Structure 1
Amino acid sequence: MFNSKQKTSQTKSAPSAASSITQEANARVLSQLPFEQKEDFENAKRGFIGTITHKTIKNEHGDVIWDLGAYDFLSSATAPPTVNPSLWRQAQLNCNHGLFKVTDRIYQVRGLDLSNMTIIEGDTGLIIIDPLTTLETAHAALDLYYKHFPKKPVQAVIYTHSHTDHYGGVKGVVSEDDVTSGKIPILAPEGFLENAISENVFAGNAMSRRALYMYGMILPKSVQGQVDAGLGKTVSLGTVTLIPPTDTIHQTGEKRTIDGVKMEFQLAQDTEAPSEMLIYFPQFRALCAAEDMTHNLHNIYTLRGAEVRDPVSWWKAINQAIENFGSRTDVVFAQHHWPTWDQKNVLNFFEKQRDMYKYLHDQAMRLINNGYTMLEVAEMIQLPESLAKAWYNRGYYGSVNHNVKGIYQKYLGFYSSNPADLHPLPPEAASQKYVEYMGGPEKVMQKARESFNAGEYRWVAQVMNHVVFAHPDLQAARELQAAALEQLGYQCENPTWRNEYLMGALELRHGVPQVPTTKTDSPDVVKAMPIDMYFDFMGIRLNGPKAAGKSITENIHFSDVKKDYALQLKNSALTYTPNKKFAHPDATITLTRAIMDAITLGATTFEHEIEFGAIQIKGNRDKVFEVLSCLDTFEPSFNIVTP
């Protein structure tokens, strides 16, 4: 399972136990929060109908891609010393799984993936909202509904927003043929396809690697490992699919009636996702909040990496929902977690979620304008008690700390304005200097062990990172940093922070894992990518130094879709112009879009398709291959906690 990239010999070592300092820190949490409140546990079970027979879901090859049985250890009422009691509570709530009735004709399948699938009963069939992350879990979710109700056909699919866990399972509930023929519509908010693809392809390799840390997908499921992901248990490891939408919601106030079900839409662009919408069902007095209002503080900045989200757009979207739907909503459900019932509770939920994002934004900006830097602002802000003690505002996904840093980044970027931070040495070079100035690795480690025994785990993790980057072969240094990261993880209320710390510790002890992950840049995503975006991604892959001094022009003709592009490599940049042909190109390439997709996905090669005639080149072939030779192939398992 593990294949270390470091030169050092790896000795397998077990995770550490919770120190006495960590145990005391976790025990204090019990007196700080209202654990006597049990309403969430009642609501998470409310409307339960049934669940899957076995706790696992497998793919067509028999591989387990979802395993709820791995979380059986969470049945204990008391949190173990290695898990923050608040996180233990959320992890237990997210263990509820199966088919649930929300209100008349609205059902949800929860706990079969990171997200929920909502099923609306129309007059003759079903409307599916957000078909989970992967084909296999979506298919299992629909089968679970059919186990308890007549097998009515799916009449429509709705994507609430552009994140993978809300569209990736679409081929588990409908066929592409039925969609392209017009039989089954797919609705999505404006900008859905562009944002779904750009986030998962342009930075997809880096995000997929970082997501291993954030979700802890390969951590052991245990009291010393992964217990939850905040929004749900974790991400399923099946097949990500995508069928492009056939109908788009362009503005707030648009309405649709599908199979007798009336819907009113509110766009919520640039909130939790750059393309997102809420859906109100007037017949049922129910609101689908997409992912803008869930039972946790969400991410303004996400640890896997993405563009910083706009807290101003977010609080305003919630406020608009209050104005549009608050007085006529008896139940609000989201595409994660459990619903909130009764108008008074719904309004209280809306208002406190709105005020939370408004508070974080305004207080961050107040301190920024008083001259405080990103790290200082993040240490200074805490939610007021009126917001912090609402369980649905706890930092189980986003945290106050990293969200405030995201707000700073959004407005001011990376630079603190202190010139010492303007052009610092990169980590490996800086670490060598730090350790040299401190008297060498042994002296640093001696002092770090004293700090560890004093419970100064944040400092130990920070200072030992320098030793590891300066001396990556020194296993004792890696073990000490791993131990500090584990204690930090054990104390975390936020499961994504816990996963980050414990994944770092795991890789310090065992090396970089070589394991399969859910591929967000799946065949369906590549196939749905507009050709312009394909060439954008080609430009991202271009190795600028390799391309230095080259000047090459190509005409590219896609014979199946009848599109032409003029591609130019010049000044170490790859540019393109649609609907243009160079008068005297170095080469002209003719191919189909399908062949381009197959090459991108690794199913074939450019050379192979030239040899068999699927790609024709007129002009200088060597120039074509010269461009291709300058494109990088990204390594999916790059180092993070070691140089």
Structure 2
Amino acid sequence: MKRAWMMIAMLPWAGAAAAQDAASEATRTAQAELAARLPLDDPQDFANAARGKIAEIKDGLIVAKDGKVIWDRRAYDFLNGTAAPDTVNPSLWRQARLNAIHGLFEVVPDKIWQLRGYDLSVMTVIRGKTGWIVVDPLLSEEAAAAAWKLFAETVEAKGAKRPIKAVIFSHSHSDHFGGVGGIVTPEQVAKEKIRIIAPHGFSEEATSENVLAGGAMSRRALYMFGSILPPGPKGQVDTGLGPRLSAGTIGYMEPTETVPATGATLTIDGIEFDAMDAGGTEAPAEMVFYIPAYRALHTTEVVTHNLHNILTLRGAQVRDALRWSKVIDAMLLKWGGKAEVALGSHHWPTWGADNVKALLTDQRDAYRYVHDRTLFLANRGATLHELADQTPEAPVQGRDFSTRDYYGTLNHNMKATYQRYFGWWDGNPANLNPLPPEQSAARYVALAGGADRLLAAGQAAIAAGDYRWAAELLNKLVFAEPDNAAGRAALASAYDQLGYQAESGAWRNYYLAAAATLRGTELDTVSGNGQSRSFVSAIPTPVFFDALATRFDAAKGKALAGTFQFVLPDSKEAVAVVVEGGVEFPRYGVTDPAPVATITVDRATLDDVMLGQAQFPALLQSGAIKIDGDRTAFLSWFALHPPADPRFNVVVP
């Protein structure tokens, strides 16, 4: 499929962008029906989300030293209203209002605090015998620094200043470690012997998960998190998991120690932690832990106040719903009845031993339902789309808001579980090798009797409130005729209503961002975050060269053959890149005896290139890169690695 980016200013429909639609009668009816069957006025979650609040950052505004806005909750004042507007699913509205409660909260009196509402994730601070233990220092350094400042000025103001003794990374996703540089420096860690503790496998997973497929993941993430939407009742409201991502600098620090797969009992600054491995659930490297002295269970991202993703919409490796449910059951067996409070890496805590047990039980059952219903139906012949469409919500979802589809959904989680076991194909040979969308779309338009007739059918479906069918029809028209303004407008209207009705923040964001793309009104955003040198430098060199190989233009380089030897003096590494038959294969730690060319370059210089702080031609001229052998062949090979456009099309051809 062609993915050429077209600048918004060049689009023929961008001169006077059409306004978003109001909620249709069908959407208003759907919202009312959902509101009628859910106890939306149950106050317990609101009481828990506000419990223990002692301070907040004024206006929820975090600004970097250079003036860049990192976090700003003022644009979300519309959430102060208690009644959901017709353009927001009433259940998602409730979740968004809960996630909008921000500040510093005391979870266990004078022992545990949380900083919530200043990033997608939550930062926890635990009192040790002599200092502080920080868990999950947010996504960005600026957000973490502002949150820590609030904590220090509020809690430390009551007593003597205490040092940070340890930082715990609960799992390998960047919104739980990227802000570490905002609270401690590498020099502090070394000088003060601050412990950086993470689950086994953390270093590899944290620095490599998104590197190989990072371009596509980042582009889709803009839709999933609503980063290209303005906040508002018709725009970005929440992600379900948290408000949104902060827009600062993502950093990294190497753990000083890791918790093994068998789990471990750790003493951290005089406090005992009982850690359990949870890798292979929400993240490849993950752990949960219990603090007996405080009777507090940290559920990390294994248990949150929503159904999580088995496959996130931005793209990732499919997760294991069965293992997920078993890890929660192990937590229930080990700590259920003991823990008086459960707190995690997102959302608000749950207090009371019975309530903690109920939370764990319901979450376990939700993931088990996803897994078992998928295989129950698949083993009776249901295919990927059939099984998801015919399955009602789990019984537990009707009574426990913590299991509802605010982030992951039963629908796409069942599809993901099917994919994990059976792959992308449903077994029907007609679907084994279908035509690409642009080719099939033109034929669908012809079959319908032309663009006008297909447009009319799509508009009729919209009028009937049949938005899924309307989207399917009109997507064919847009892929056949990308410049068809009426088709784009109609498809955007269908996406509006699907977004308004979505209970999942991720689904809502994706639909509404797609509608904005069709109208030419999406915010011109590539990414709100920048990776720091600490993060880039931590990417393993083998992953670095594997990522480079994914950029190799095989069509143009199919006749090229030979080995290019890289020598990295500063890191004492060698990589032989074998090129032959349109394939580039890096061999880490190998030295080829007869390379076409040998390239001597420091790993730090390669990091400069990745960070955009150095250009390859200038480095050659300065001597920062030395080439021995066939220089022309090397330059020809290097030119076959063009960068991908980060703003490739997603919802249009």
Name the counterpart of 2:42. Answer: 37
Residue from 261, 265, 268 that aligns with 2:275: 265
**1:210 and 1:303 in contact (8 A); partners too:** yes
The aligned counterpart of 1:66 is: 71
Q: Secondary structure at the match of 2:59?
A: coil
- Residue deviations 1:561-582 (CA, integer Å, cap 9, x gap): 2222222111222223233322
Q: Is the 8 A contact 1:512 1:639 kept in 2?
A: no
One-letter amino acid of the counterpart of residue 283, structure 1? A
Match of 2:3 in 1: none
User: Counterparts of 1:475-554 in structure 2 under 5 Å?
Assistant: 475-510=485-520, 513-519=523-529, 522-554=532-564
In 2, are the aligned partners of 1:3 and 1:513 still within 8 Å (CA)? no
* Correspondence 1:127 to 2:140: no
State the one-letter code of the partner of 1:527.
S
Is the Cα–Cα contact under 8 Å of residues 248 and 530 in structure 2 kept in the other structure? no
Q: Distance in 1 between matches of 2:266 and 2:90?
A: 44
SS in 2 for 1:74: helix
Please identify, of 288-297 and 189-198, the stretch whose mean Cα deviation from structure 2 is larger: 189-198
State the match for 1:193 in structure 2.
203
- Indicate the residue corresponding to 1:587 in structure 2: 597
TM-superposed deviation, 1:623: 1.8
Cα distance in 1, alignment partners of residues 12 and 585 from structure 2:
40
Say whether the 8 Å CA contact 2:96–2:240 is kept in structure 1.
yes
| Other-structure match for 2:608 | 598
**AA matched with 1:632:** P
| Equivalent of 1:206 in 216, 232, 248 | 216
Check conservation: 2:565, 2:597, Cα contact below 8 A: yes
- The residue matched to 2:542 in structure 1 has which SS? helix
User: Between Structure 1 and Structure 2, how many residues are aligned?
Assistant: 643
How far the C-alpha of 1:392 sits from its partner, in A, is 0.5
User: 3-state DSSP class of the match of 1:473?
Assistant: coil
Distance 2:293 2:13 in 1: 65
Matched, 1:145 2:185: no
Q: Is residue 466 from structure 1 mapped to residue 471 from structure 2 by the alignment?
A: no
Following superposition, the deviation at residue 251 of structure 1 comes to 2.4
- CA offset digits 1:129-151 (Å, max 9, x no partner): 00001111100110010121224
Q: Does 1:27 align with 2:37?
A: no
Q: What code does the residue aligned with 1:48 have?
A: K
* Comparing 535-544 and 328-337, the one that deviates more: 535-544
Task: Output the CA distance in 2 between the equivalents of 1:523 and 1:197.
Answer: 12
Supply the distance in 1 between the matched residues of 2:277 and 2:83 (Cα, whole angstroms). 42
Segments of structure 1 that go 5 or more residues without pairing to the other structure are none
Q: 2: CA distance between counterparts of 1:327 and 1:185?
A: 31
TM superposition shift of 1:152:
2.1
Q: Secondary structure at the match of 2:312?
A: coil
Tell me which of 54, 57, 61 is aligned to 2:62: 57
Q: Which residue of 1 aligns with 2:259?
A: 249
Cα distance in structure 2, aligned partners of 1:405 and 1:520: 33
CA contact (8 A) 2:144 2:183 kept: yes
1:238 paired residue among 245, 248, 268: 248
Q: How is 1:628-643 mapped onto 2 (pairs within 5 angstroms)?
A: 628-643=638-653
Q: Does 1:323 align with 2:343?
A: no
| 304 and 252 in structure 1: CA distance in 2 versus 1, 3 angstrom threshold | same
User: Within the alignment, does 1:136 sit opposite 2:142 as a pair?
Assistant: yes
Q: Alpha-carbon deviation of 1:119?
A: 0.5
Counterparts of 2:263 and 2:204, CA distance in 1: 23
Report the counterpart of residue 76 of structure 1 in structure 2. 81
What TM-score, normalized by structure 2, do the two folds share? 0.96
Look up the match of 2:317: 307
1:160–1:166 Cα contact (<8 Å) kept = yes
The Cα offsets for residues 289-309 of structure 1, whole Å up to 9 and x where unpaired, read as 000000111111111110111
* TM-score for the superposition, normalised by structure 1: 0.97
The AA in structure 2 aligned to 1:200 is N
RMSD of the TM alignment (CA)?
1.6
SS at match of 1:557: strand
- Which residues in structure 2 correspond to 1:288-367 (within 5 Å)? 288-367=298-377
1:238-262 deviations in Å (ceiling 9; x for gaps): 1111112121111233122121121
Which aligned pairs between 1:365-404 and structure 2 lie closer than 5 A? 365-404=375-414
Q: AA paired with 2:506?
A: T
Aligned position for 2:232: 222
Partner of 1:266: helix, strand, or coil?
Answer: strand
Match of 1:444 in 2: 454
Distance 1:252 1:47, change over 3 A: farther
**What are structure 2's unaligned runs of at least 5 residues?**
1-5
2:436 matched to 1:426? yes
Paired residues of 1:201 and 1:521 also in contact (CA < 8 A): no
Deviation of the 1:638 alpha carbon: 0.7
Residues in 2 aligned to 1:2 and 1:57: alpha-carbon distance in whole angstroms: 31
Distance 1:7 1:192 in 2: 48
User: Which one-letter code corresponds to 1:397 in the other structure?
Assistant: Y
Paired letter, 2:637: V
1:366, CA displacement in angstroms?
Answer: 0.8
Q: Is the 8 A contact 1:4 1:512 kept in 2?
A: no
Residue 125 of structure 1, CA deviation: 1.5
Counterpart Cα distance in 1 of 2:480 and 2:647:
21
Deviation per residue, 1:19-48 (Å, 9 max, x gap): 111111111112111224211010001111
* Distance (whole Å) between structure 1 residues aligned to residue 527 and residue 626 of structure 2: 36
